[in-house]
Structure formats: C-alpha cells, structure tokens
Amino acid sequence: MVAIIDSGIDYTVPLLRGRMWQNPGEIPGNGIDDDGNGYVDDVHGWDFRDDDPDPLCGTPLNYHGTFVAGLVAASVDMATGVGGVAPKVRIMDLRFLDSRGFFYRNDWDKLVKAIEYAVRNGARIINLSIYAKVDPPGFVCRAIQDAVRQGVLLITIAGNGGSRVRSLGCLPDVITVGAVDRTKAPAPFTNRGPQVDLAAPGVDVVSVVPGGVPVRSSGTSFAAPHVAGTAALLWALDKDLSPEGVAEILRLTADDVGTPGVDESTGFGLVNAASAVGFLVGSE
C-alpha cells in the first residue's frame, strides 16, 4: 500500500475508485471511531488540512494529489494514456496541502501526524511530493526516521528550482527523485545534488485531476510517484523485502542516463519498472 501525503485525492474518479485503501476496521458514515485509532470514519485515510475524513468536503482540493495518485495506481486507459505504474496497488489518501497546493511553517505537525497515521495503518510506502524552502524541524526528521525503522520506504522530490536539493530531499532516510524529459535528459527545472538517488519521467506527463479529466503537467512531484509505483510492484512480488532491499533493487536496475555513472541530476539513473521486476523474478 502506498500512502500519498499530498493535497487530497478525488476518490470518485473512475480510474481511481477501485484503488483506494479501505480501512477494514471502520464502518463508513456511522460517526463512530470503530477501530479506536483516534479518527472517526477514516475509510480511505484522513484530511489533515480540514481535520475530517473526507477530502471532498470542506475546502476545495488542489489537483496535485489526484494527479500523483493517478501516476501511482490509476487503471490504464489506452484512449487517454492515463495509467499508473502499479494499477492494482491500494492508495491511502492523507491530505496535507491546502487548496493552492501549499503548506506553511505551522503545518509541520500535520505532516508528522500524517506520517504516523500511514505507519500505524499499514502503509509500506509513503510518497511525499511536497517541498519546503526551509529545512524540516527536528521532530519531523525523527518521525521520518521512526517510519523507516518500522519498515516504511519514504520517497520525496528533488524540487523544481533548477538549483540545489533542499528540505526533505536532503534527509538521509528518504529516496530523492529528480525529473527527466522524454529524451531521458534531466529536466531544466530539476534540482541537483549528491542527495538525488533516482530520476523518473517528470516532463509533460499525463494523469487525471479531480473530476477525472486527463491533463499533462511537469515537475519532480510527478517523477516521485513513478518510483513509488515501482517499489509497490516489488513488494507485491516479495512482501519480505526490506526497505533497504527495495531501494537497492531500484538503484541496481535503473538506466544510467545523463553523465555516465552516478550524477547529481539523475543519481543512479532512470527508474526502470520492468527491469526491477525482472531482477526480482529472476532471483527467485
């Protein structure tokens, strides 16, 4: 299961409807915290922005989270080109960003709560396509370290400033992803640095937005979910893999692009889902 900490997901989109995580301990709509986890009616996750169980109620969704979710897990639609890397994986919706796709200094505690929720409720992967101009406070770093110790793989972005990696992407406990275009060249906007682990398509990629409309967009935010989806495929094949084991396979099977060898734009290279799955199947 992939937890998407983002701007919320339109779970009514047909290509996503069957991909949403269903909390097995919760009875929808009865107003009771059936599983005793502190969240009432949290069927698909929790809206930490509005502090309620339904991201479609309250403040409007930004398109970002639905777009990211589509890249991870949407059913394949040959007519539009929409389709997730892992179209059978379940996605947990943890809304964190506001209607403009932003968060603020006083929101770091919401991020920690979202991470903790994901870990407690069984997510194996957390996709963090979010960026800050400041370094995360210590309690956020500790929450990420705790998640990793409990067997969760965290994937985040290099950022879109065309400069150096900052914020969450600098943490040693995450996989940091840069963006490449269709020629496999680093996107002009992708941030660079020794922290970059992998690259993925992030220029003019297609996914869905709230309402189900297919659109194209660019950014390292949309590169990271390609890596999250590939990691989900690996865990679907071998549930006993450790986060370190998944990360190692992703690195070993990436296509070397850009400057030969590990480089600051694309890390170990362009994630290759087919090669990663082939490596795991061939080793069994």
Active site residues: 6, 64, 221
Q: How many other C-beta atoms lie within 10 A of the C-beta of residue 183?
A: 7
User: 3-class SS at 267?
Assistant: strand
235-241 contacts at long range (C-beta below 8 A, 24 or more positions apart): 235/124, 235/125, 236/86, 236/88, 236/89, 237/277, 237/280, 237/281, 238/280, 238/284
Q: Rounded to an integer, what distance in angstroms lies between the CA atom of residue 78 and that of residue 183?
A: 22
- DSSP for 130-184 reads ---SSPPPHHHHHHHHHHHHTT-EEEEE--SSSSB--GGGG-TTSEEEEEE-TTS
Q: Rounded to an integer, what distance in angstroms lies between the CA atom of residue 105 and that of residue 82?
A: 34
Conformation bin of residue 241: beta by default, left when phi > 0, alpha when psi is -120 to 50: beta
